[in-house]
Amino acid sequence: MRQLRHRRLTAVVALATLLVTAAPPTAASAGAGAGAKPERAGFHRVGYFTQWGIYGRAFPVKKLDTSGAASRLTHVNYAFGNVSEDGRCYVDGGPGEGDAWADYQRPVPAEESVDGIADAPGQALNGNFGQLAKLKAKHPELKVLISLGGWSWSTYFSNAARTDASRKAFVASCIDIYLKGNLPGSPGAAAGVFDGVDLDWEWPNWEGEPGNVIRPEDRENFTKLLAEFRRQLDGYGRTTRKHHPLTAFLPANPATMDAGYEGRKIFKYLDFATVQGYDFHGGWDAVTNQQSALRVPRGAPDNPDFSAEVAIDGWIARGAPRNKLVLGIPYYGRGWTGVSGGGNGLFQPATGPAPATFEAGYEDYKQLKTLAGKGYTVHRDLRSGHAWLFDGTTFWTYDDPAVVLQKTLYIRQAGLAGAMMWSLDGDDDNATLTKTIGLGLTTW
């Protein structure tokens, strides 16, 4: 049995390697792929597009089309929408609290535009929102959701969810801005860009970013907030004659699950939920480790420990239906430097997070893929489903196509609803990871 399992996993690596070594598409073939019939049936394939990715990462919405990623996705979650102290959705916050320029004001030049046509300065809808509208026109089955909160903007979720009145007002404000498209000074300008709402409250009744408002009643109020979103989205849907999806991002930590969520109750209102499948370990730890392993590796120094399987099993044990769970997959790695102890670098002492492009200890897949063979050796634990790079001093744990494909097989075998990716701007220009997920979750 062990030899059979090893042969199957070796086949996974071989198949994923074919994706990596295949010739990149030409401009003509990329365009044809983008316009081809999308692979929509069956599993959800949910990718987060970051508001700020257009800057340092030079990742405009157009890249979702030209890379072929858009035709492999079912949902794009736009990260993020903010929540005000008085519990409202808003888009015109000051520095650090919003970026209206990126969202809907920036005139996108022709070379960055999905349809090749430049935005006119001052027109009703520019920026990322305008480009998402163009992307949907080319891919009409693609759903776009506004993701509210995130790590930095979950500060006042508790205020918004606290009372019946606050929940009603909060939900109404979100639908007004994002689904009805009533942007400041431009009523209806963004109508039709967003199809639904993703709640990324990190976390109800549990510590997230320092300064977040936390209350014990958050646990029950989160369920009530979902109920109010479902009620108002359905009401709005009766006017649009459409179903407007409601999803949520859920934690991997079992203690956080218990503190902030009423188990099976929340799934009554959700179309599906994405489950954190990463950040299990990172440069904040004193020793190197995995950040996104499918299963807890043998010899792991922490007991109990985190893994994708632990997270999924935790939600199922708390009443979550398998067919509403979507596993999160990272398009980045976590790294350490000053690693001592020898060997392959795993579970060894380190001096701190590794130097990186934007944030110490955090690097995009498209950068990490270039390290293999340049002083770094790729190591794999096929049983546990994780990979890492090590050069004798610096260690990076990450998901490459082989690991991603192995996770799609797990998704299928476990009867889950699909895969989520954080975040699309971490992939390479050929959308290698997204195409791997598309391959692994294709319904034959």
Catalytic residue annotation: 202
d(CA 105, CA 261): 37
Q: Give CB contacts under 8 A, 24+ apart, made by 250-255.
A: 250/274, 250/275, 250/276, 250/315, 251/202, 251/203, 251/206, 251/275, 251/276, 251/311, 252/276, 252/277, 252/279, 252/280, 252/306, 252/308, 252/310, 252/311, 252/314, 253/306, 254/310, 254/314, 255/206
